[in-house]
């Protein structure tokens, strides 16, 4: 069976019709910073605001519809991650949720306890834990990367672990260079040391199916706006942690899990869009491999299998094209035979050109990219890039096409 052709799905994304100065469609190579959304997400958010816009727990129908929507959103998120619905907490973004739960962790720490963070991570999965350790007088240890291919150094992790380790924070995939980490192996090492593992799944959730049970996650965050939904965040935490830890919240507060972890009024229209984005991923599965009548969880996993196969072809095409270009430096896994170890997200520089200048030129030509460090501050410090502007980030996803990959390569060639 060949690689599925996902190009018909582009018609589901109205924003992809945007054209550049030359009249050609724009290339949205900015997917790591946030994805475009399908038509059904837009419709779901609009419909909620038109027909069901009310706060919770009221004795009238619109409020009851909002209560039902929140319950449905927990079921959808649990189908995305393989958890139970009462292990899902919603918030404005992953960063805010990590700060919230890390503050509760800090109450359990004592001087002499240790927290471990990695240099591969987005700062949202570093800074909250550093501040929690500082509040509690705990010690912080760091896990290094291998600079050659910018993968996590598991020997460094093993050296950092001890019987004093209480939590390890690690990404599932680097938002900067695309490296995918061996999540289950990491979790098992951490659990053998008697500690908790907190995974940042924000970047990976756009490209791979996540199963929190299979990777033995204790805590995991991701963001719907990275997997074709609205700007929100969601957090998975094992029920025991959500029950035992103390959230910071105003009175009166419910003692029910997970309600007790959600502060203030939720983004209800965002929840409607989140449900629609997960249903969209299930639609991809049904269109490309899932058997009819499968539960949503199974269809989502089938959708990601198709997405992974398609994106692997895009990544191979891009890496092989880069090999033909002189004066372009790539940071991360460069071997096309290793695309299974990375997402189609690439950090590069063209000669000594400042990344923001490269990004501006590409933007003027209708190709949207990012420049800088994208909050992977520790990683770019480790690579020695922060003082000179970081790197240009080009990110493809399943609505990208081989023709767009070739167009980006052609423009890079003209600049190199």
> 291 falls in which pLDDT band (50, 70, 90)?
low
Q: Would you call the peptide bond into 25 cis, given omega within 30 degrees of 0 as the criterion?
A: no
pLDDT score at 293: 75
Residue 274 reports pLDDT greater than 90: yes
Gap between the Cα atoms of 390 and 369, Å rounded: 13
The predicted model gives 342-366 an average pLDDT of 97
Gap between the Cα atoms of 138 and 150, Å rounded: 28
- 295 backbone dihedrals φ, ψ, rounded to 5°: -60, 160
Number of helical (H) and strand (E) elements in the chain, helices listed first: 12, 15
Residues in the chain: 416
First to last CA, the chain: 38
pLDDT, tens digit (0-9, with 9 covering 90-100), for 120-165: 999 999 999 999 999 999 999 999 999 999 999 999 999 999 999 9
> 289 falls in which pLDDT band (50, 70, 90)?
confident
pLDDT score at 2: 80
Instruction: Give the residue carrying structure tokens 């960063």.
Output: 95
* Dihedral sign (CA 21, 22, 25, 26): negative
Alpha helices in 193-295 (DSSP H): 239-244, 268-287
* Prediction pTM value: 0.97
The predicted model gives 13-18 an average pLDDT of 98
pLDDT, tens digit (0-9, with 9 covering 90-100), for 84-116: 999 999 999 999 999 999 999 999 999 999 999
Cβ pair 163, 110 in contact under 8 A: no
Gap between the Cα atoms of 290 and 305, Å rounded: 10
Q: Which domains does the chain have, with CATH numbers?
A: 7-38+300-415 (3.90.1150.10), 43-277 (3.40.640.10)
Which of helix, strand or coil describes residue 193?
A: coil
Q: Which residues pair with 151 in a beta bridge?
A: 146
Gap between the Cα atoms of 234 and 212, Å rounded: 13
Which of helix, strand or coil describes residue 147?
A: coil
What are the C-alpha distances in Å from 100 to residues 50, 90, 107, 244, 333? 32, 11, 12, 15, 34
Strands 233-237 and 88-91: antiparallel
pLDDT score at 178: 98
Q: For the chain, give the percent of residues with pLDDT over 90.
A: 95
pLDDT score at 13: 98
| Number of C-beta neighbours around residue 5 at 10 A | 12
The predicted model gives 338-353 an average pLDDT of 97
Average pLDDT, whole number, for the chain?
96
Residue 256 reports pLDDT greater than 90: no
Phi-psi region of 303 (alpha: psi -120 to 50; beta: other; left: phi over 0): alpha
Cβ pair 29, 400 in contact under 8 A: yes
| Number of C-beta neighbours around residue 330 at 10 A | 18
Residue 345 reports pLDDT greater than 70: yes
Gap between the Cα atoms of 322 and 343, Å rounded: 16
> 224 falls in which pLDDT band (50, 70, 90)?
very high
């Amino acid at each position: 069976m060949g690689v599925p052709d996902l190009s018909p799905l582009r018609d589901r994304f109205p924003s992809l019709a945007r054209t550049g100065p030359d009249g050609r469609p724009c290339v949205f190579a900015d997917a790591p910073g946030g994805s475009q959304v399908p038509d059904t997400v837009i419709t779901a958010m609009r419909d909620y605001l038109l027909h069901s816009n009310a706060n919770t727990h009221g004795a009238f129908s619109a409020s009851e519809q909002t209560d039902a929507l929140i319950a449905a959103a927990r079921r959808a998120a649990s189908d995305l991650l393989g958890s139970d619905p009462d292990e899902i907490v919603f918030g404005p973004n992953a960063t805010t949720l990590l700060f919230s739960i890390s503050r509760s962790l800090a109450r359990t720490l004592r001087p002499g306890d240790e927290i471990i963070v990695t240099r591969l991570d987005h700062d949202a999965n570093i800074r909250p834990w550093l501040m929690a350790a500082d509040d509690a007088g705990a010690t912080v240890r760091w896990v290094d990367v291998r600079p050659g291919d910018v993968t996590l150094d598991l020997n460094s992790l093993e050296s950092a672990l001890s019987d004093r380790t209480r939590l390890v924070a690690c990404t599932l995939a680097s938002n900067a260079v695309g490296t995918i980490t061996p999540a289950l192996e990491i979790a098992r090492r951490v659990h053998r040391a008697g500690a908790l593992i907190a995974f940042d799944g924000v970047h990976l959730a756009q490209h791979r199916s996540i199963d929190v049970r299979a990777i033995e996650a204790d805590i995991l965050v991701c963001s719907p706006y990275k997997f074709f939904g609205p700007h929100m965040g969601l957090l998975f935490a094992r029920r025991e942690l959500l029950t035992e830890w103390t959230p910071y919240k105003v009175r009166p507060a419910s003692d029910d899990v997970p309600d007790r972890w959600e502060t203030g009024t939720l983004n209800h229209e965002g929840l409607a869009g989140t449900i629609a984005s997960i249903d969209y991923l299930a639609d991809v599965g049904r269109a490309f491999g899932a058997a009819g009548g499968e539960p949503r969880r199974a269809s989502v996993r089938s959708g990601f299998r198709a997405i992974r196969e398609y994106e692997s072809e895009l990544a191979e095409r891009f890496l092989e094209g880069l090999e033909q270009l002189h004066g372009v430096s790539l940071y991360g896994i460069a071997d096309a035979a290793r695309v299974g170890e990375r997402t189609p997200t690439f950090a590069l520089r063209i000669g000594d050109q400042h990344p923001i200048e490269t990004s501006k030129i590409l933007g003027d030509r209708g190709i949207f990219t990012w420049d800088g460090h994208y909050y992977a501050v520790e990683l770019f410090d480790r690579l020695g890039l922060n003082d000179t502007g970081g790197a240009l980030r080009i990110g493809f996803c399943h609505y990208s096409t081989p023709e767009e990959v070739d167009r980006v390569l052609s423009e890079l060639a003209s600049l190199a």
